[in-house]
Amino acid sequence: MSIKLEQVTKVFGAQRVLDDVSLTIAEGEFFVVLGPSGCGKSTLLRLISGLEPLDGGRIEINGREVASSDQHLPPEARGVGVVFQSYALWPHMSVASNVAFPLETAGKTKAEITRRTDECLATVELTRFAERKPADLSGGQRQRVALARCLAQGASTILMDEPLANLDPHLRGAMEEELSAFHKASGATTLFITHDQREAMALADRIAILWEGRLLQADAPEVIYRRPNNRQVAGFIGQGAIATVAVLGSEGDQAHIRLGGCDFTVSALPGTPTGTAALLLRPEDLEIGAADARLTGRVGRTVYRGGFHEAEITLPGSETPLLARVPTKPQAGAEIGVSIRSGWVLPA
């Protein structure tokens, strides 16, 4: 129940929409592809589901080659279920009939269809809505019908293209929890596509960052956030700033760095060389106004974020202002003591 892509390439006209994309999604994994609009996410999903042929590389699903330069299995032969951003439900059919549809098409017996439909509706907790029409459901409930229909197909591999993008923000949080529960209950290998990093962080076992058709990094959410491979990932995910520092030496996954004339210990790849490097500082890496502060920064713009203020602080040597969280609003232009508690040296 795994998905494997090797050097997958897709070209539209003169545009290389996917360029040399390789990744492996493990059985039962919830794998999220995250990237800005237009980076090739939907194209990736269409190649895996078989809606689009590829131009280079190969795709395996459950150990079977489904696409390569001389192979293109049609979508129905790939055993994957797809859930799109628009739910694509039949408006004139009841919830139960929508879910039963793939079972009927597959020519199952009436008893079998009823049993499976009931099971799938129970998994998404829609049993009491079985006789309603899609129009009489909330957006979140409609999305659950689409999930149940996907389950009814018997798909152990599910692809989802921004399924929460059409929902109201307050519903999205609830649907994220439901998707997680659904994933646990079904055990399906899931490829979930989104441009929303908060959603990706909340759902993913692993996140792959797709950028202009190239895969920049695929790792657990904490690793993507704390230890990005490069500036693009660091800048795309979360908040933070990059300072130019001198690496004085390293031991294991720690590096000793100098910034603004002071020495600090931060995280780094083992074997990080000495010399000039870029240090990523997230807001939580900085402590402001501590008694032992060794650096002095200048306060710029401050924004209230609910519970704390986020202040831009310029340190000597920082390329862009650092973002720090402070409990009380500091005076713009004031000088303020800054301590660096952690950080990540970006790999060269």
* Footprint of Mg ion (CB under 5 A): 41-42
Total site size for ligand ADP, rule CB under 6 A: 10
State the Cα angle at 242 between 241 and 244, rounded to 5°. 150
Phi, psi of 332 (to 5 degrees): -60, 135
Identity of the residue, 13 or 63, whose beta carbon is nearer to ligand ADP in the bound complex: 13
Q: Out of 5, 8, 34, 43, name the contact with ligand ADP by CB under 6 A.
A: 43
Q: Does 328 bind ligand ADP (CB under 6 A)?
A: no
> Which of the listed partners (Mg ion, ligand ADP, none) does 40 bind, with a CB threshold of 5 to 8 Å by partner kind?
ligand ADP
Residue type, 224: I
State the Cα angle at 137 between 131 and 141, rounded to 5°. 100
The H or E element spanning position 115 is helix 110-123
Q: Does 194 bind ligand ADP (CB under 6 A)?
A: no
Identity of the residue, 43 or 117, whose beta carbon is nearer to ligand ADP in the bound complex: 43
Give the contacts of 73 (CB within 8 A, at least 6 positions apart).
50, 66, 67
Q: Does 159 bind ligand ADP (CB under 6 A)?
A: no
Q: Out of 7, 38, 249, 341, name the contact with ligand ADP by CB under 6 A.
A: 38
> Which of the listed partners (Mg ion, ligand ADP, none) does 12 bind, with a CB threshold of 5 to 8 Å by partner kind?
ligand ADP
Residues linked to residue 278 through DSSP beta bridges, in sequence order: 244
Residue 318 C-beta: closest distance to Mg ion, Å: 35
Query: Which pair of structure tokens corresponds to residue 174?
Result: 């609830």
Identity of the residue, 85 or 127, whose beta carbon is nearer to ligand ADP in the bound complex: 85
| DSSP letters for 59-100 | EEETTEEEEETTEE--GGGTTEEEE-SS----TTS-HHHHHH
The rounded distance, in Å, linking the Cα atoms of 114 and 23 is 38
Q: Does 42 bind ligand ADP (CB under 6 A)?
A: yes
Identity of the residue, 4 or 195, whose beta carbon is nearer to ligand ADP in the bound complex: 195
Q: Does 143 bind ligand ADP (CB under 6 A)?
A: no
Dihedral, CA of residue 112, residue 114, residue 116 and residue 118, to nearest 10: -160
Q: Does 37 bind ligand ADP (CB under 6 A)?
A: yes
Identity of the residue, 42 or 189, whose beta carbon is nearer to Mg ion in the bound complex: 42
Do you know the residue count of the chain? Answer: 348
Query: Which pair of structure tokens corresponds to residue 46?
Result: 């269409």
Query: Which pair of structure tokens corresponds to residue 122?
Result: 């129970």
Residue 212 C-beta: closest distance to ligand ADP, Å: 9
- Identify whether the C-beta of residue 142 lies closer than 8 Å to the C-beta of residue 134: yes
Query: Which pair of structure tokens corresponds to residue 96?
Result: 């139960």
Which segment (36-44, 74-82, 264-272, 298-306) binds ligand ADP by CB under 6 A? 36-44
Identity of the residue, 86 or 138, whose beta carbon is nearer to Mg ion in the bound complex: 86
DSSP 274: S
The rounded distance, in Å, linking the Cα atoms of 25 and 48 is 12
Site string for ligand ADP, 2-31 (x = CB under 6 A): ----------x----x--------------
Q: Does 163 bind ligand ADP (CB under 6 A)?
A: no
Q: Quick check: helix, strand or coil at residue 55?
A: coil
Find, among 119, 102, 6, 124, the residue nearest to 59 by Cα. Answer: 6
Q: Does 190 bind ligand ADP (CB under 6 A)?
A: no
Identity of the residue, 56 or 289, whose beta carbon is nearer to ligand ADP in the bound complex: 56
Residue 168 C-beta: closest distance to ligand ADP, Å: 21
> Which of the listed partners (ligand ADP, Mg ion, none) does 109 bind, with a CB threshold of 5 to 8 Å by partner kind?
none
Residue nearest Mg ion (C-beta atom): 42
> Which of the listed partners (Mg ion, ligand ADP, none) does 17 bind, with a CB threshold of 5 to 8 Å by partner kind?
ligand ADP
Binding site for ligand ADP (CB under 6 A): 12, 17, 35, 37-43
